[in-house]
Amino acid sequence: MYYIKIEEQKYGDLLVLKDIECRIGEGEFVAIMGESGCGKTTFLKVISGILEDYNGEVYLQGEPLHRKNSGILTRIRGERLGMIFQDFQLIDFLNVRENIKLINNSSTEGEIDRILEKLNIQELKYREIRKLSGGQRQRVAIARALAGNRRIILADEPTASLDSKASAEIMEIFKMLNEEGYTIVMITHSPQIASYAGKILYLYQGNFNTAVNLKELDQNDRLKRILDIVGRRYEESLAAQSIG
Q: Say if residue 100's pLDDT is above 70.
A: yes
List the chain domain ranges: 2-243
Q: Give a three-class secondary structure readout of the chain.
A: CEEEEEEEEEECCEEEEEEEEEEECCCCEEEEEECCCCCHHHHHHHHHCCCCCCEEEEEECCEEHHHCCHHHHHHHHHHHEEEEECCCCCCCCCEHHHHHHHHCCCCCHHHHHHHHHHCCCHHHCCCEHHHCCHHHHHHHHHHHHHCCCCCEEEEECCCCCCCHHHHHHHHHHHHHHHHCCCEEEEECCCHHHHCCCCEEEEEECCEEEEEEECCCCCHHHHHHHHHHHHHHHHHHHHHHHHHC
Q: Which residues contact 57 (CB under 8 A, 6 or more apart)?
A: 3, 4, 5, 64, 66
> Which of 200, 178, 170, 201 minimizes the C-alpha distance to 20?
201
Q: Say if residue 121's pLDDT is above 80.
A: yes
pLDDT of residue 227: 94
Cβ atoms of residues 171 and 198 within 8 Å: no
Q: Across the strands, what pairs with 4?
A: 22, 58
CATH homologous superfamily of 2-243: P-loop containing nucleotide triphosphate hydrolases (3.40.50.300)
Q: Say if residue 120's pLDDT is above 80.
A: yes
Higher pLDDT, 145 or 240: 145
Q: Say if residue 237's pLDDT is above 90.
A: no
Q: Say if residue 243's pLDDT is above 70.
A: no
pLDDT tens-digit readout, 10-42: 999 999 999 999 999 999 999 999 988 899 999
pLDDT of residue 232: 84
pLDDT tens-digit readout, 142-183: 999 999 999 999 999 999 999 999 999 999 999 999 999 999
User: Chain-wide mean pLDDT for the chain?
Assistant: 94
Q: Say if residue 244's pLDDT is above 60.
A: no
- Say how far apart CA 144 and CA 166 lie, in whole Å: 18
- Gyration radius (Cα) of the chain, Å: 18
* Backbone phi and psi for residue 151, each to the nearest 5 degrees, phi listed first: -115, 5
Cβ atoms of residues 142 and 119 within 8 Å: yes
At residue 161, what is the residue type?
S
**CB-based burial label for 180 (10 Å; 0-12, 13-18, 19+):** exposed
Q: Which residues contact 9 (CB under 8 A, 6 or more apart)?
A: 15, 16, 17, 18, 39, 42, 46, 51, 53, 54, 55, 56
The pTM score is 0.94
